[in-house]
Amino acid sequence: MPCMGEEVVRYTFRLRPGALAERALVAEWDRCRFLWNEAVHQQKSGARPTFGMLSTLLTEVRSRNTWLREGSQVAQQQTLRTYAQSLAQSFTVKGRGRPTFKARKNTLPTLEFTRRGFRIRDGRLVLPRGVRIPVVWSRELPSEPSSVRVSRDSLGHWYASFVVRRDPEPVPEAVGGIGVDWGVSTTATTTDESFDLPFRGHRKRCAAEVAKAQRTMARRHSGKRGPQSKGYQRAKRQAARLQKKAARQTEHDIRVWAKLVVDNHELIAVEDFTPKFLAKSTMARKVADAAIGAAKRELIERGVRAGRRVVLVRPAYTSMTCSGCFARAKQRLGLGERVFRCEVCGFTAGRDRNAAGVVLAVAERGHTRVDDVSQSDHLPRRDGRVAVRA
Ligand SMILES: [Zn+2]
């Protein structure tokens, strides 16, 4: 069993703030937002504010501003620290823009509290100024949290995300490898059918309900002329809630699947497919692509954490190469063609199953591209015999 040190992870729980607490959280967010926007303003007017500078400034502004003083210094400091970090990153990370103003209308509240800014007492999260919020403890914290992020999502639900240390989950011994090919109708097709991850379309089940809510939205006053009607807002909320629910179920499925794959294999060969979120593609396609992205991320992360051999294989030629003998088909398979048939050795398999086999075969030979595998390589076949390509 591989033994590693402690790992730092986030444990997230639902919060159930009362009306008073919620008002306090929003007010806290307003103050933090104000400070963030001040920092953005400074930067825009030519200064390059560091956390040290902003920190000094905070002390000064707080001393003459009662409104700010009513808020938590820890949360305000954290806001400025986050600002300074994202500003610094905008200079060093390619493609990262400068931090921008946060408007009340289109940003969701996020507050950070370090160790001295919060406590857990009687099962409640206690924030500065005696704000006490019941937590839905869906599992036990493995250690004392070192910080917490309190945030609200688009549905108006509040969450607390604690940073904790824990011993890594024990990973069972495993031998053998698995190849993973990504797809739309089956999110992950693997070399071993029993490890496939179907795209269950929690969506499909919910799709009808979502569609209904959206139809209702279409009939209601959308606010393009005049204010949004109550019915429109209700339908919009309902649609958002259903979509969120489906997304959570998909996430759960992915976690369970990734754990199963990692627990049972020493070598995990993954098709390095990056879904493109094309503006033109359908909503259903985007959702399926999002599932692929999430599954791939989770599998790689878990595999690496467990000390498994994780190999990313380029997708080129995986679906037109025979996983039995490695002969490459002359023509690309048509999109509608679901079965792969090898003209050289007669090997037949489902198109995606064959591709998963190729992905695994490439990784087993220590490569990351189909092209790197020498055509004269001795290739062990599924039935244990060795096929030699003429
Ligand atoms: Zn073949």
pLDDT tens digits for 329-376? 888 877 778 899 999 999 999 999 999 999 999 999 999 999 888 755
Report CA(387)–ligand 1 centroid distance (Å). 9
CA of 362 to the centre of ligand 1 (A): 15
3-state secondary structure of 347: coil
| Token pair for 196 | 């496939």
Residue where the block lists tokens 């998963």: 356
pLDDT tens-digit profile of 167-223? 887 888 998 999 999 998 899 999 999 999 998 765 555 666 767 777 777 776 666
Residue from 111, 120, 157, 155 nearest 140 by CA: 120
* Residues, Cβ < 5 Å to ion ligand 1: 322, 324-325, 327, 342, 344-345, 347
Residue 3: pLDDT band (50, 70, 90) is very low
The answer to whether residues 189 and 352 touch, using CB atoms and an 8 Å cutoff, is yes
- By the 8 A CB rule, do 72 and 114 touch? no
pLDDT, position 154: 83
Residue 351: predicted pLDDT:
94
Amino acid 158: pLDDT: 97
Give 277-330 pLDDT, tens digit per residue: 666 777 777 788 889 999 999 999 999 989 999 999 999 999 999 998 999 888
How far, in Å, from the CA of 329 to the mean position of ligand 1? Answer: 9
Among candidates 187, 116, 134, 181, which has minimal Cα distance to 315? 181
H helices of the chain, in order, are 19-44, 51-64, 66-69, 73-92, 202-219, 230-264, 283-305, 351-364
pLDDT at 329: 87
78 vs 305, residue with greater confidence: 78
Is there a contact between 163 and 8 (Cβ–Cβ < 8 Å)? yes
Gap from CA of 293 to ligand 1 centroid (Å): 30
User: Residue 95 corresponds to which tokens in the numbers above?
Assistant: 């493609």
For residue 275, what pLDDT is reported? 77
Cα 151 → chain centroid: 17
pTM over cut 0.85: no
pLDDT of 47-76, one tens digit each? Answer: 888 999 999 999 999 999 999 999 999 999
Q: How far is the CA of 326 from the centre of ligand 1 (A)?
A: 6
What's residue 202's pLDDT? 57
Is 4's pLDDT higher than 60? no
Q: Tell me, in angstroms, the distance from the centre of ligand 1 to residue 342's CA.
A: 5
pLDDT in tens, 258-276: 999 999 999 999 999 887 7
Average pLDDT over residues 233-254: 83
CA of 357 to the centre of ligand 1 (A): 12
Helix (H, G, I), strand (E, B) or coil at 81: helix
* Three-state SS at 338: coil
Q: How far apart are CA 1 and CA 172, in angstroms?
A: 7
